[in-house]
Copies of this chain bind each other. A is one copy, B any other.
């Protein structure tokens, strides 16, 4: 039985609810949020948890063995380090960090404390992504050559409070260029390719469109007196495309667009091309995922689910499906509990850092006009 504390209740409530379904393995004993409203809301549903307004108080709670960090992204690295230094395992929501100089301290802290650090990247654990991973492991794809991961999700409204002032997400769009939310896109791909296990990211280059949909939205919603109605206000473009080259000469294409007007389900898209098979995720709710396997599929694509019986991933459980992010939320939490038990993180700090490193490196590439930028060597331990 793992005793857990949750930091940040807006997203954290999901974990409180998930824990009820795993009562034999985990218990949430404490939670903290600086917003009293969120605490009141959570307390109604979960009265038997200790609530703190301060992160420090949660760290002092000696019952807490592990912490789920579900706060805004810019806080993740610092809070992860503090939890580890306080002797607590960490499950951290994505991304692991946003600045390049946060990576080494985080990695060192995990190494020195010898505690479990896991990134809560749920898209790795959706049903189709797990199945593709299983097929890769079984050699169905042959040698992997090319992969794509997208995060395309119209989140314009999340950039603003009701009065039009910027949220932390809005400040990121205003201040940063590049792909600032890459892990949903790259996570499954990195697992398929064995990044950090038998291949590594060498370098990336990143390119953006201008900022168009967001200033238009601001003008319509808050009027043209809002400074965000001006294109120049936003450094981040609507669409960001990042290309990553790996040591094994694989090419990875990532798309990030949280501004453009278009339907956003599914919010993630993936593609995998091997020498013997290829996978294409759905474009929209009306599509099925497609697979083509040499020697099996004939001359056209097939529905991936045809292969469910043969290639369902052992981690997939049907009950996960309705529990958020295509089942990923449930499995990520379950995998974290397993990680603590076995002493081996399902998404370890090196993987988390390699995936999150795309944030500062894509910014650097964009700022240099699209020049390729190298990944640091300390990310790789294999």
Q: Is A346 an interface residue (CB 8 A)?
A: no
Q: Does A322 contact B (CB under 8 A)?
A: no
Proximity bits, A264-282, B CB within 8 Å = 1, else 0: 0100000001011110100
Give A128 Cβ to nearest chain B Cβ, in Å.
14
Binds B, one of A204-212, A328-336, A355-363: A204-212
Q: Determine whether A187 belongs to the interface, using a CB cutoff of 8 Å to chain B.
A: no
A277 and B286 alpha carbons, distance in the complex (Å): 18
With a CB–CB cut-off of 8 A, which chain B residues contact A280?
Answer: 283-284
Q: Which B residues touch A146, using CB under 8 A? A: 209, 238-239, 257, 260
A371 CB within 8 Å of chain B: yes
Q: Given A260-B278, A263-B299, A372-B369, A145 and B283 touching (CB < 8 A)? A: no
Cross-chain contact of A207 among B212, B243, B260, B276 (Cβ < 8 A): B243
Each complex incorporates copies of this chain amounting to 2
A208 closest partner in B (C-beta): B251
A163 touches B (CB below 8 Å): no
Q: Which of B205, B239, B249, B292 contacts A251 (CB 8 A)?
A: B239
The reply to whether the CB of A290 lies closer than 8 angstroms to some CB of chain B is yes
A 221-260 to B, binary, CB cutoff 8 A, 1 in contact else 0:
0000000000000000111010101001111010001001
A286, B276: Cα distance in complex, Å: 22
Report whether over half of chain A's contact residues are helix, strand or loop; otherwise say mixed: loop
Q: Are B209 and A300 in contact (CB under 8 A)?
A: no
Whether, in the assembled complex, A216 has its beta carbon less than 8 Å from a beta carbon of chain B, the answer is: yes
**Do residues B276 and A253 form an inter-chain contact, with CB atoms below 8 A?**
no
Contacts of A209 on B, CB cut-off 8 Å? 145-146, 249-251
Q: Which of B145, B249, B299 contacts A260 (CB 8 A)?
A: B145
Given contacts A209-B249, A212-B143, A273-B239, contact A283 B284 (CB under 8 A): no
Asked if A287 CB lies within 8 Å of chain B CBs, one says: yes
Note all chain B residues with C-beta closer than 8 A to A372: 369-371
* Least distance between A68 CB and chain B CB atoms (Å): 31
For the complex, give the distance between the alpha carbons of A372 and B212 in Å: 23
Known interface pairs A205-B205, A239-B146. Does A261 touch B210 (Cβ–Cβ under 8 Å)?
no
What's the minimum C-beta distance from A295 to chain B, rounded to whole angstroms? 10
6 more A-B contacts (CB under 8 A) besides A146-B238, A237-B251, A263-B299? A142-B216, A143-B212, A203-B370, A210-B249, A237-B249, A370-B371
Can you offer 27 A-B residue contacts whose CB atoms are under 8 A?
Answer: A145-B213, A146-B209, A146-B239, A203-B370, A205-B205, A207-B243, A207-B245, A208-B251, A209-B249, A209-B251, A210-B249, A216-B275, A237-B249, A238-B273, A239-B273, A241-B243, A241-B251, A243-B370, A257-B273, A260-B275, A261-B276, A261-B294, A263-B300, A265-B300, A283-B301, A287-B287, A371-B371
A contact residues vs B (CB 8 Å cutoff): 142-143, 145-146, 203, 205, 207-210, 212-213, 216, 237-239, 241, 243, 245, 248-251, 253, 257, 260-263, 265, 273, 275-278, 280, 283-287, 290, 292, 294, 297, 299-301, 369-372
